[in-house]
Amino acid sequence: MINPATLKDIARLAHVSHTTVSRVINNRPGVRAATKKRIMRLVKELDYQPNLVARSLVVKRSKNLGMIITTIRNPFYLELAQGIEDTARSFEYNVILCCTNHDLFLEGEHIRELKRRGVDGIILTSAQIKDGHVAALAREGFPVVLVNRRVLDPDLSDKVDYIGIDNVKGGEMALEHLLKMGHRRIGIIRGSLESSVTVERMEGACRALTRYGISLEDDLVFGGDYLKGTGYEAAKKFLSLPNPPSAIFSLNDYMALGVYDALTEQGVRVPEDMALVGFNDIEFASLKMVGLSTISQKKYTLGSMAVRRLMERIEGAQAGREWILEPELIIRRSCGYTLAISHGGLAPSER
């Protein structure tokens, strides 16, 4: 049996020190281009495979990251997770996935288990985040990046990193689009108010309503858990009102899918009888039979950016930075815009 090539073998054949070989393999600067080319040729020819176990013992790293999400049932997390997984692999890291299922106690259990397993950092993107869990990690200096979910305690904002979309602007864009089309009674389906996403998107929606001189009525707001069932129940409630809304804004696309189911059961057509706008632009939203107008956020990019920032934290960078991506309004069939244009104009000023 042929013994596998070692770092020392590469160094001997390349006539360089093993430190130089290590620099090249780990993509570190300070090596001339010709030397780097010679080393990489030998790495390929000898099929050199780094000993990741030995490396992790030297640098005291597990080469594992933790990722905590709410549920794999929500398609939003699939594309986000793909961005995290692909980018982590480019850094030779594995990802351990945990789901909270909207249980804050379980979130804490997952954090403890991930730390017990020795992960080098955690990406936290569950629908609700308990500030106490984040505070404990921050006190330890443990690398953690929040994705699209802020801590609600402002005193913690400079102790963790945040990557997300401008949720306030996104909520404002969605409502303003419906208002410009003439809708005045607009139902809003939200998640828990313990989620920064809910708070921010609702703030944006209220800004748009205020600009049009409209007050948010209690019976036109339905709170739930960002799951499909919430959208279904909300739509049924709105349809039962003496004066139902003419449009619905769902704070995520997954709930909007439940809205579709309820409206279909009741024989209510989208968009002819009810306009609908979602948020997130998950994959099903673009399907022809759905055609959901929505606010798009770059989910894969969010995941990839989170890993890159976590790598910086693992290397010793200070916490407290944030990156905010711009939302984009995606107009499809469900909002009725195309239908209105085909009939010679937008909706009347009062609906």
What does the pLDDT look like over 183-193, one tens digit per residue?
A: 999 999 999 89
Are residues 175 and 267 located together in one domain of the fold? yes
Q: Could you tell me if 223 and 191 are in contact, meaning their C-beta atoms sit under 8 angstroms apart?
A: yes
- Identify the CA nearest to 337 among candidates 324, 347, 326, 328: 347
Domains in the chain, number: 3
The Cβ-side half-sphere exposure at 133, using a 13 Å CA radius, reads 27
- Identify the CA nearest to 299 among candidates 329, 325, 330: 325
- Identify the CA nearest to 310 among candidates 125, 98, 117: 125
Are residues 206 and 338 located together in one domain of the fold? yes
Tell me if residue 26 falls in helix, strand or coil.
Answer: coil
pLDDT tens for the 351 residues of the chain, in order: 456 788 888 899 999 998 898 888 777 788 899 999 998 898 888 877 765 545 554 556 789 999 999 888 888 899 999 999 999 999 999 999 999 888 888 988 999 999 999 999 999 987 666 778 888 888 888 999 999 888 877 778 788 899 999 999 999 999 999 999 999 999 999 998 988 899 999 999 999 999 999 999 999 999 998 899 999 999 999 999 999 999 999 999 999 999 999 999 999 999 999 999 999 998 878 776 679 999 999 999 999 999 999 999 998 898 889 999 999 999 999 998 766 655 555 554 444
Is 351 contained in some domain?
A: no
pLDDT digits (tens, 9 = 90+) for 83-109: 999 999 999 999 999 998 888 889 889
Is 347 contained in some domain?
A: no
Are residues 307 and 221 located together in one domain of the fold? no
Q: What single DSSP character describes residue 272? A: T
Are residues 316 and 219 located together in one domain of the fold? no
Domain that holds residue 278: 167-297+330-342
Are residues 32 and 181 located together in one domain of the fold? no
d(CA 51, CA 58): 11
Are residues 278 and 146 located together in one domain of the fold? no
Identify the CATH number of the domain in which residue 194 sits: 3.40.50.2300
Q: Residue 290 has which token pair?
A: 């759905």
Is 147 contained in some domain?
A: yes
- Give kind and range of the element (H or E) at residue 78: helix 76-90
Q: Which pLDDT score is estimated for 53?
A: 46
**Angle, helices 7-14/33-45, rounded to nearest 10 degrees:** 130
Q: Residue 36 has which token pair?
A: 């780097």
The Cβ-side half-sphere exposure at 58, using a 13 Å CA radius, reads 7
